[in-house]
Amino acid sequence: MSEIPKLTLKKITKLNLPSILQLNVKPEQRNFVASNAKSIAEAHFNKDAWFRAIYANNKPIGFVMISDTLLKYKSNPNHRPSYYLWRFMIDAKFQGKGYGKEAMKLVINHVKNRPKAKELLLSHSKSYGNTGEFYKKCGFEYNGREIDDELLMSLKL
């Protein structure tokens, strides 16, 4: 595998939105993750959504969205926040180069720095091939629980 360029998570603005909307997974992966257009639209109606474009050097290569309940309930001092990986994709052209794993490190680091963050959760459908193997390589473990027929994975922070 060739050397991985510097990856960053950048805000999505009016200026870079068109290039983020052009990022796509492989045709056979399309039912694994929503389109970025759908995710960005949903993010604007969900106060717990935190979303960023993934860049390699100055090129957009992917998208991530998490649910960060503290964004929604920040006025409640008793709220116990939860952090959940909601969407994660690397454009088909950039897959298999180690970018996904490297980008996940940035996401984990972001969550680690959020208040009272103890774990990052995610779930994936049983029919999504071996996506779980990718998440295992990023440090997630199955916790034996299921939600809506999806397998839950957790990474302790």
Ligand X SMILES: CC(C)(COP(=O)(O)OP(=O)(O)OC[C@H]1O[C@@H](n2cnc3c(N)ncnc32)[C@H](O)[C@@H]1OP(=O)(O)O)[C@@H](O)C(=O)NCCC(=O)NCCS
Q: Of the candidates 84, 95, 117, 152, which one interacts with ligand X according to CB under 6 A?
A: 95
CA angle 113, 42, 123 (to 5 degrees): 60
Asked if residue 101 binds ligand X (CB under 6 A), the reply is yes
Give whole-number Cα distances, 33 to 37, 62, 123, 124, in Å: 11, 12, 12, 10
Does 140 participate in binding ligand X (rule CB under 6 A)?
no
- Rounded to the nearest whole angstrom, what is the least distance from the CB of residue 149 to ligand X in the complex? 13
**Can you tell me which of 29, 35, 46, 82 binds ligand X, judged by CB under 6 A?**
29
Quick count: other Cβ atoms within 10 Å of Cβ 150?
15
Both tokens assigned to 84: 């959940």
Determine, following the binding rule CB under 6 A, whether residue 59 of this chain makes contact with ligand X: no
Question: Per CB under 6 A, does 133 bind ligand X?
Answer: yes
Which residue is closest to ligand X by CB? 100
User: How does DSSP classify residue 67?
Assistant: E
- Does position 88 interact with ligand X (CB under 6 A)? The reply is yes
Whole-number Å distance between alpha carbons of 113 and 48: 16
With CB under 6 A as the contact rule, the residue among 50, 51, 134, 140 that binds ligand X is 134
Residue 99 · residue 137 · CB < 8 Å: no
Question: Which chain residues interact with ligand X by CB under 6 A?
Answer: 25, 29, 32-33, 88-90, 95-101, 124, 128-131, 133-134, 137
